[in-house]
Structure 1
Amino acid sequence: MNTSLNRRTVLRGAGAAVSLPLLDIMRPQTAAAAAAANAATAPSRMAFVFFPNGAIMDRWKPEGEGSDFKLNDTMESLQPHQQDLLLLTGLTQNHARANGDGGGDHARNASAFLTGAQPRKTAGADIEVGVSIDQAAAKLIGDKTRLPSLELGIERGRNAGSCDSGYSCAYSTNISWKSPNTPNAKEVNPRLAFERLFGTPEGAATQERRNKFRKSILDFVADDAARLQQKLGGTDRHKLDEYFTSVREIEQRIDRANHLRPKEIPEMQLPEGVPSELKEHLRLMYDIMLLAFQTDSTRITTFMVGDAGCNRSYRDVDVKNGHHELSHHRGDKDKIAQIAKIDRYLTEQFAAFLSRMKAVKEGDGNLLDNSMILYGSAISDGMRHSHDDLPILVAGKGGGTIKSGRVLHYPKETPLNNLFLSMAERVGANIKELGDSTGPLDIG
């Protein structure tokens, strides 16, 4: 009797399918089978976790270099994962700087973080920055999973009005940009994020009727748009083309849903709304990211643990003043100590997530081994609004392509975007350039 299971086996249920993680039963049963099935490996995934307001850098940076290093105070909770980390110094996001545009470093911090582009200074509708690395990669490999990417956050924010020195709130509340003019709205409600991944337990007939209705509406819009395009000028044709591209992507998702039977929905205890406790909110959103990777529902995620310039207090660690307010500490030792508490607290939540990732076995390793989780910001010193020598780490081995457990010191002004090119390459997205990139970093 054949006791193995095909790697492509999926759970089928209500309108789509969920790929299974790499199970032992999927592994070859003989040496000959192993030689013939080397391709049956787990996919590589990448995630980008953004935190606001920079960090107290002398408590962030590790001591030492290469594999001989010691984690500093902020990083202490990551000690069990030290061999899973790359800690990188010297990286810069130049387009988070003013470059002649004056104030607004927090808005530029978020909007340039993954795009590597200079945001247009405007509080109006004419926002423009660039395509972010997650979306550039999703365009190349997003068709391999049910969702091309998943965008998560803790604060909903808003995309209209001015939030930072004449910059639109869209710049402060988004790190994922589908096009230079179109941010990807993040989901902050754990239940809705879960349903974005797996849908709801509706009957197959109801789901099929709904999909058919949506498809007929999309066909109508597409035909109408094609006729209208003939009457438009160049700028309007460009805007309509962006819209039309989004319509086609929705059509493709619906087509996939129509050809799949109902799926099993993983069990997860979720509140009805947004949790009132920050620690629980962070844990749930990290767990949804884990589940998205484990089920191969997507291989690309972004997560904002706070919007740019976030002024939240952190009562869990007895910090009653606002984070952004404290970041302008002017050397006040008490304020610096409070910010260090915040830095440490957020790192502890990230470390707990890494522990849960490592607990998920996958092949000869675990889920973290087959992932790259970047944790960082495009501001280093929050008081000076510095955008060089950034607080950046990458957790995971990228499917064995990253030599982790090291501190890597790069020359001053090395573009952060070079790291993004290296990460994208490891998930199968060969992206030649992003922002001011000069070529992939050697992190193998």
Structure 2
Amino acid sequence: MFITKKHISRRAVLRGVGTTLALPLLDAMLPAMTAQAKTAANTPPRFFGGFVPHGAAPGYWIPDTVGALPDELPFIWKPMEPFRKHLNILTGLHSRSSEPPPGETGADHWVAAAFLCAQKPRKTSGADVYAGQTIDQVIAAKYGQETLLPSVEISVEDPGSGSSNCGEGYSCVYTNTIAWASPTTPLPMELNPQVVFERMFGSGSTAEQRAQRRERDQSILDSVNEKIKGMRTAISVPDRARLDAFTDNVREIERRMQIAAKATNAAPEGFAVPPGIPQSFDQHIKIMFDLLVLAFQADITRVSTMLFARDLTGRVYPECESPTLGFHGGSHHGEDPNLIKQLSKINQYHVKVLAYFVDKLANTTDGDGSLLDHSLLLYGSNMGNPNQHVHYDVPHILIGGNYGKLQGGRHLAFPTKQVPTGNLLLSILDQFDIHRDSFGDSTGPLPGLV
């Protein structure tokens, strides 16, 4: 056997007409006989932040024991059972930044923007919006400058769907995005998976070229097929399998987006779904998650955020066990045990689609581990019991190994109303070796997380 130090660059791409295909991590990108941790192919950890409004059904999400996770997870978190070794359930946190400023009223439903910055947004309906830079953008500033897309911001609910009237003196921008590049710079969240796909793989193509390619049912891979064939002859059998699996996934996502663009099935009542966007929430969010897995795998981006739903949404979820209950209406359960149970099924469904993403990460090889081993995911809400509109005892979970920095399998319980969510955000930044004295409304790092 001959061993050389020649290898493919981790930044290598295959270029074709209107196509730039980034590659997954291959053994050929690791210099022979060199530990991965000492090579340029050692990819920094990935971060994902997912926000869902309207809190969680009381009695269905807090574990009975503190410390090691119980043998059976609470109902809402049950879809996370296969990933318990990478799961941390956090209880008792206080989202103070989602409460009205002193002397003001009408925050509450209008402050999704506070989720990742832990800072109260300025009450304004004009252009002088002000919140805080969010942790995803702080992480992207450190780790995202070498990638095609420093960060990816995604939504699965159209701002024009009528889910919010943006009243009570707060700008719509506070509920339309959870990502802020600076306190005055909200980032738009992309709704259309086709646009996300083309940003990832369609570099250099014009809108006309993309439209023609879709009309001919062509794949972006068609223009780089010969280069893919040439690469396959120069890499190992395991690398060929990884490359083939990656390109197969690209083709499968294209196929599903083409089907979604041609679909004629009706959207949920009251929802105007723009053309080209899946009318089924389940199809929509899963395509978005598949795109994120490809983006993490090919190192197209290392940072992403997702808005699962907008505040006051009346959306129903036919795929869940409570298929006719509107999300916001169901959140006002009036402490009725039956309605609380129905709400818990919506909550569990959201976790179920998140688990779809986590499973994909867990089963995607990334160097000496999986993408899940090398990622940190935050999922949560800024409300506790939504019927009472309280912002303490808010549900949050952390998922992923973050290169061994984060121990899983735990329920970390904090004293109610004592620990602001800013402490969690500060601790997440520490996980990415970004050390600050404070962040948002933090009073210090979370004790016991590390």
Query: TM-score normalised by the shorter chain: which range applies?
Result: 0.7 to 0.9
Query: How many residues were matched structurally?
Result: 383
Q: Please give the alpha-carbon distance, in whole angstroms, between the structure 2 residues aligned to 1:18 and 1:437.
A: 41
Please name the residue that 1:80 is paired with: 82
Please name the residue that 1:228 is paired with: none
Q: Please give the alpha-carbon distance, in whole angstroms, between the structure 2 residues aligned to 1:202 and 1:402.
A: 41
Letter in 2 for 1:58: G
Using structure 1 for the length normalisation, give the TM-score: 0.79
427, 433, 437: which one aligns with 2:442: 437
Structure 1 residues 198-347: aligned runs within 5 Å: 198-199=201-202, 202=205, 266-267=250-251, 268-269=253-254, 270-271=257-258, 272=261, 273-317=276-320, 318-347=322-351
1:46 touches 1:371 (CA, 8 Å); kept in 2?
Answer: yes
Structure 1 residues 15-30: aligned runs within 5 Å: 20-27=23-30, 29-30=32-33
Query: CA, structure 1 residues 55+28, in 2 after alignment: closer, same or farther (shift >3 Å)?
Result: same
Please name the residue that 2:154 is paired with: 152
Letter in 2 for 1:89: T
Q: Please give the alpha-carbon distance, in whole angstroms, between the structure 2 residues aligned to 1:325 and 1:403.
A: 37
Please name the residue that 1:420 is paired with: 425
Structure 1 residues 44-193: aligned runs within 5 Å: 44-69=45-70, 70-99=72-101, 100-108=103-111, 110-157=112-159, 163-193=166-196
* Residue 162 of structure 1, CA deviation: 5.1
Query: CA, structure 1 residues 153+35, in 2 after alignment: closer, same or farther (shift >3 Å)?
Result: closer
> Cα deviation per residue 1:362-411 (whole Å; 9 max; x = unaligned)?
12210011001111111111111121221100110111111111111223
> Cα deviation per residue 1:13-35 (whole Å; 9 max; x = unaligned)?
158866543333444644xx339
Relative to its length, the structure with more helix (as a share) is 1
Letter in 1 for 2:74: N
Q: Please give the alpha-carbon distance, in whole angstroms, between the structure 1 residues aligned to 2:181 and 2:372.
A: 26
* Residue 322 of structure 1, CA deviation: 1.7
Letter in 2 for 1:60: W
1:374 touches 1:394 (CA, 8 Å); kept in 2?
Answer: yes
Q: Please give the alpha-carbon distance, in whole angstroms, between the structure 2 residues aligned to 1:192 and 1:181.
A: 25
Aligned-residue RMSD, C-alpha = 2.8
* Residue 336 of structure 1, CA deviation: 1.4
Query: CA, structure 1 residues 131+2, in 2 after alignment: closer, same or farther (shift >3 Å)?
Result: same
Please name the residue that 1:351 is paired with: 355
Please name the residue that 1:368 is paired with: 372
Letter in 1 for 2:75: D
Q: Please give the alpha-carbon distance, in whole angstroms, between the structure 2 residues aligned to 1:133 and 1:313.
A: 30
Q: Please give the alpha-carbon distance, in whole angstroms, between the structure 2 residues aligned to 1:406 and 1:58.
A: 18
Q: Please give the alpha-carbon distance, in whole angstroms, between the structure 1 residues aligned to 2:204 and 2:41.
A: 31
* Residue 40 of structure 1, CA deviation: 4.7
1:319 touches 1:338 (CA, 8 Å); kept in 2?
Answer: no
1:53 touches 1:382 (CA, 8 Å); kept in 2?
Answer: yes
2:381 pairs with 1:377: yes
Structure 1, unpaired ranges of 5+: 208-263
* Residue 50 of structure 1, CA deviation: 0.7
2:19 touches 2:204 (CA, 8 Å); kept in 1?
Answer: no
Identical aligned residues as a percent? 36
